[in-house]
Amino acid sequence: MARLFHYKVINNAFGDPCVFIQLLREKRALLFDIGDIRKIPFNELLKVSDIFVTHTHIDHFIGFDQVIRAILRRSEPLRVYGPENIIECVNGKLRGYTWNLVSEYPLKIEVYAITGREIVGAKFLASNGFKIEEVRSLPFKNGLILEEPLFKVRAVVLSHGIPVVAYSLEEDYHININKVELQKAGLNVGPWLGELKKQLKLHYKYDPVKNLKPKNRKKSIEIETPKGRINIEELFRILKITKGEKIAYVMDISPQKDNVKRVISFVKDADVLFCEAYFLSKDLDRAIERNHLTAQITGEIAKKAGVKELKILHISPKYIENPAEIYREVELSREQTRE
């Protein structure tokens, strides 16, 4: 099965946490956190359309300048999401340079601060020397911050002593092509299947009984196939619909019960969870003081949420001599926690 989300972890667990996600067959990528991103090649940075920042501690945000430099002449806009102070932080970064030579550039940066109740927006245009401009705030409903035909992104505001945002990237459903049925219908594989998938995502949502259900009032949609134009619903028999993938990203949260409870429900049934495991349990005092998770709590979250794959990204440098202890504690906790 071809996956929509192709992720790359940029640094090792002692480097700054950052995940790059390439979308299948799209010249487009998403980035979670932008600390040290020097390992992302220039041409890959150019594809980044949306950046999801958990918080603006330097190990999660220092790479912002590098992104701007890479995309400065780009015509596609950049969207940056983050906690309540993200607009101020982006503005601060942009004010750190002189912009008298960019007025011809089409670049537009949209920034969205997730405050818990609403999403406050701002934009910065190269043509205007990146001066801050207000945009209308959006409601923050059901945790949704971005909804597109291909995927959705949800967010939750948690505590790290300061507000921190965790994200989940979800594909509503996944469309596979049943090659046997395709042949039976006398059709061949080709780029038209990409168009079929796009139209399906635009006009149909997942339904547990019928598999696919029209999103709005039914209008007839036709697809150009090698055999001419065919009504989209007649093509349903060549499809195999499966559950879409869910990828969650949770960094730098304090180990308080309330935080942990909210994370568990937020990352429920994730296929992949990227999470910190910053301290060992024996250093719980330190974890509480620094507002980070322990390996034991990270394991517990993954188990209670039914996460399939857990990727540890952020470990305190104090364990650099013996990181195996962290992984062991996570695994032990996953084995011993009851769902």
Cα dist from 235 to 118, 226, 238, whole Å: 40, 13, 6
For Zn ion, which stretch binds (CB under 5 A), given 6-14, 55-63, 207-215, 294-302? Answer: 55-63
- By beta-carbon proximity to Zn ion, the closer residue of 175 and 253 is 253
- By beta-carbon proximity to Zn ion, the closer residue of 28 and 57 is 57
Length of the chain, please? 339
Least distance CB 32 / Zn ion (angstroms): 13
* Per-residue burial over 216-248, b = 16 or more CB atoms within 10 Å of its CB, e = otherwise: eeeeebebebeeeebebeebeebbebeebbbbb
For Zn ion, which stretch binds (CB under 5 A), given 50-58, 88-96, 192-200, 296-304? Answer: 50-58
- By beta-carbon proximity to Zn ion, the closer residue of 57 and 268 is 57
Least distance CB 318 / Zn ion (angstroms): 14
Give dist(CA 56, CA 240) in Å, integer: 42
Least distance CB 325 / Zn ion (angstroms): 20
SS3 content of the chain, % helix, strand, coil (to 5): 30, 35, 40
Interface with Zn ion (CB under 5 A), residue total 3
Q: At what angle do helices 64-71 and 86-95 cross, to 10 degrees?
A: 60
- By beta-carbon proximity to Zn ion, the closer residue of 36 and 59 is 59
Query: Which amino acid is it at 102?
Result: V
Question: Does residue number 59 form part of the binding site for Zn ion (CB under 5 A)?
Answer: yes
Q: 183: which 2 tokens?
A: 């042949």
112 and 81 Cβ atoms separated by less than 8 Å: yes
Give dist(CA 315, CA 236) in Å, integer: 47
- By beta-carbon proximity to Zn ion, the closer residue of 165 and 212 is 165
- By beta-carbon proximity to Zn ion, the closer residue of 22 and 291 is 291
Least distance CB 314 / Zn ion (angstroms): 6
For Zn ion, which stretch binds (CB under 5 A), given 23-31, 38-46, 49-57, 65-73? Answer: 49-57
Give dist(CA 85, CA 65) in Å, integer: 17
Owner of token pair 């945790």: 143
Least distance CB 338 / Zn ion (angstroms): 30
Least distance CB 292 / Zn ion (angstroms): 8
DSSP helix/strand/coil, 235: helix
For Zn ion, which stretch binds (CB under 5 A), given 53-61, 115-123, 175-183, 328-336? Answer: 53-61
Least distance CB 279 / Zn ion (angstroms): 12
* Residue among 57, 198, 268, 290 that touches Zn ion (CB under 5 A): 57
Binding mask 113-152 for Zn ion (x = CB under 5 A): ----------------------------------------
Alpha helices, H only, 141-191: 179-184
168 and 154 Cβ atoms separated by less than 8 Å: yes
Least distance CB 59 / Zn ion (angstroms): 4
- By beta-carbon proximity to Zn ion, the closer residue of 252 and 300 is 252
β pairing state of 163-170 and 48-52: unpaired
- By beta-carbon proximity to Zn ion, the closer residue of 212 and 310 is 310
| Per-position DSSP letters for 110-123, written without gaps between them | EEEEE-SSEEEEEE
Contacting Zn ion within 240-299 (CB under 5 A): 252
- By beta-carbon proximity to Zn ion, the closer residue of 18 and 235 is 18
Least distance CB 36 / Zn ion (angstroms): 11
User: Sign of dihedral through CA atoms 82, 170, 78, 7?
Assistant: positive
Give dist(CA 122, CA 82) in Å, integer: 12
Give me the residues that bind Zn ion (CB under 5 A), please.
Answer: 57, 59, 252
